[in-house]
């Protein structure tokens, strides 16, 4: 008999949601996070946008888990006093030739089950946001902002209250398939003076974010053969001068780039109403490590992108802000849709669930991914 039912590797919002769902379902649960705090990695470095789900092919993991996850996340945040605000989002066309793409997104969103999507003409956009330039827009009323770190830690607290063991500052260094499931070897940080340990677990959930390919490989999976090797990409943000705070009250996105690399440099708001532009996509060279610096020379490109729909913007209004790293699959190619990997293993890897390449809309999808994982475990 295994020591525990389920071990979750990774304490970002996805891992925390999975641990909370498992523990509250009565499964003995261990959550292991290498950082000192939950939600301090990729979860803490993004736009904190709760997406609607109109961008992704119908039937894809991204479409399904985003639409389902938004509803679950809103409900969770309301129950657990996590800051959540439905500010809404305008996807804007700044020229007539972009309107057809908005119409396509509206149809796709409806097929995916996205609620409250509405097409607006230029006058209606001006009524909503007088400072935004657009000839038309797709208005997503349910798009929201959330305290992402707060949500991760609230999931973690829920897990702990349901008797989950949460180990932070600890790293999984070995996964070995055994008769009862998996033997998990965990080491503390070097120099901490703490002892490592091993335990057996019926199930292991790989929710390790930027390091999910390494964890999969540790379990014996050929990640290159499966196309699961990651190539991190950086998403930079530039802050907009606080003198403009309050001029726009909703998220504003451009029509997405044709190469599918991102949703485009957009106007972000935080829960306090401060504005910034981002993220862009900056490929990273292998071996660089977790580099969170923002190159000031990217300012001109941010200004050009933002000025298309924010006519009040001046170059001097922008200053380098934060950046985040995406766990993007190396197999991604421009113009090609790449879905989440959400896979329950069988055969030699029975008892392992891999969540690989969970970039945007991973935050939105977290509680739905957690529900899927626990359904598999309970089967």
pLDDT tens digits for range 329-371: 998 888 889 999 999 999 999 999 999 999 999 999 999 999 9
Q: Using CA atoms, how far apart are residues 33 and 35, in angstroms rounded to an integer? A: 6
Selecting from 3.30.9.10, 3.30.56.10, 2.102.10.10, 3.55.40.10, what CATH number does the domain 89-141+232-326 have?
3.30.9.10
Tell me, letter by letter, the H, E, C secondary structure of the chain.
CCCEEEEEECCCHHHHHHHHHHHHCCCCEEEEECCCCCCCCHHHCCCCEECCCCCCCCCCHHHHHHHHHHHHHHHHHHHCCCCEECCCEEEEECCHHHHHHHHHHHHHHHHHCCCCEEEEEHHHHHHHCCCCCCCEEEEECCCEEECHHHHHHHHHHHHHHCCCEEEECCEEEEEEEECCEEEEEEECCCCCCCCCEEEEEEEEEECCHHHHHHHHHHCCCCHHHHCCCECCEEEEEEEECHHHCCCCCCEEEECCCCCCCCCCCEEEECCCCCEEEECCCEECCCCCCCCCCCCHHHHHHHHHHHHCCCCCCCHHHEEEEEEEEECCECCCCCCCCCCCEEEECCHHHCCEEEEECCCCCHHHHHHHHHHHHHHHHHC
Q: Using CA atoms, how far apart are residues 250 and 362, in angstroms rounded to an integer? A: 21
The whole-number pLDDT of residue 152 equals 98
% of the chain surpassing 70 pLDDT:
98
In this predicted structure, which of 66-70, 152-156, 329-333 has the lowest mean pLDDT? 329-333
Question: Where in the chain is CATH 3.30.9.10?
Answer: 89-141+232-326
**Paired tokens of 133:** 């330039």
Selecting from 3.50.50.60, 3.40.50.10490, 3.50.30.50, 3.30.2130.30, what CATH number does the domain 4-47+149-229+336-378 have?
3.50.50.60
- pTM reported for the whole predicted model: 0.96
**Paired tokens of 263:** 């949703």
Q: Using CA atoms, how far apart are residues 250 and 141, in angstroms rounded to an integer? A: 10
The whole-chain average pLDDT of the chain stands at 95
Please give the average per-residue pLDDT across 8-21, as a whole number.
98
**Paired tokens of 34:** 């290498």
Residue 122's Cβ-side half-sphere holds a number of Cα atoms within 13 Å equal to 10
Q: Is the per-residue pLDDT at 192 higher than 80?
A: no
Please give the average per-residue pLDDT across 196-220, as a whole number.
97
The whole-number pLDDT of residue 270 equals 93
Q: Is the per-residue pLDDT at 261 higher than 80?
A: no
% of the chain surpassing 90 pLDDT:
90
First-to-final CA distance of the chain? 17
The whole-number pLDDT of residue 335 equals 80
For residues 140 and 169, is the Cβ–Cβ distance under 8 A?
Answer: no
CA distances from 268 to 64, 119, 150, 155, 319 (A): 24, 21, 18, 25, 14
Please give the average per-residue pLDDT across 23-42, as a whole number.
97
> What pLDDT band is residue 288 in, cutting at 50, 70 and 90?
low
Q: Using CA atoms, how far apart are residues 107 and 279, in angstroms rounded to an integer? A: 26
Handedness of CA 259, 237, 359, 209 (dihedral sign): positive
Q: Is the per-residue pLDDT at 285 higher than 90?
A: no
Question: Where in the chain is CATH 3.50.50.60?
Answer: 4-47+149-229+336-378
Q: Is 123 exposed, middle or buried (0-12, 13-18, 19+ CB in 10 A)?
A: exposed
């Amino acid at each position: 008999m295994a020591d525990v039912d389920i071990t979750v590797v990774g304490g970002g919002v996805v891992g925390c949601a999975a641990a909370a769902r498992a523990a509250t379902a009565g499964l003995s649960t261990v959550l292991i996070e290498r950082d000192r705090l939950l939600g301090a990695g990729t979860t803490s470095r993004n736009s904190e946008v709760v997406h609607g789900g109109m961008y992704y092919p119908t039937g894809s993991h991204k479409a399904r888990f985003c639409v389902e996850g938004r509803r679950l996340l809103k409900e969770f945040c309301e129950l657990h006093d996590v800051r959540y605000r439905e500010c809404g989002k305008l996807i804007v066309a700044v020229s007539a030739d972009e309107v057809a793409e908005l119409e396509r997104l509206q149809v796709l969103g409806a097929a995916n089950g996205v609620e409250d999507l509405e097409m607006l003409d230029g006058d209606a956009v001006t009524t909503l946001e007088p400072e935004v330039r657009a000839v038309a827009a797709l208005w997503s009323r349910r798009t929201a902002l959330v305290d992402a770190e707060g949500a991760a830690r609230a999931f973690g607290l829920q897990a702990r209250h349901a008797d989950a063991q949460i180990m932070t500052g600890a790293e999984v260094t070995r996964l070995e398939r055994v008769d009862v499931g998996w033997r998990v070897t965990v080491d503390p940080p070097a120099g901490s003076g703490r002892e490592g340990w091993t335990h057996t677990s019926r199930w292991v959930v790989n929710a390790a974010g930027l390091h999910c390919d390494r964890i999969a490989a540790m379990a014996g999976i050929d990640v290159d053969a499966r196309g699961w090797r990651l190539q991190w990409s950086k998403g930079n943000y530039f802050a907009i001068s606080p003198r403009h705070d309050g001029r726009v009250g909703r998220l504003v996105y451009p029509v997405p780039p044709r190469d599918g690399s991102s949703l485009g440099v957009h106007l972000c708001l935080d829960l306090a109403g401060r504005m910034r532009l981002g993220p862009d996509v900056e490929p990273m060279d292998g071996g660089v490590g977790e580099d969170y610096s923002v190159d000031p020379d990217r300012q001109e490109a941010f200004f050009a992108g933002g000025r298309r729909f924010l006519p009040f913007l001046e170059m001097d209004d922008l200053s380098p802000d934060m950046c985040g790293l995406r766990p993007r699959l190396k197999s991604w190619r421009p113009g090609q849709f790449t879905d989440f990997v959400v896979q329950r293993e069988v055969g030699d890897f029975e008892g392992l669930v891999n969540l690989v390449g969970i970039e945007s809309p991973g935050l939105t999808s977290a509680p739905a991914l957690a529900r899927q994982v626990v359904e598999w475990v309970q089967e």
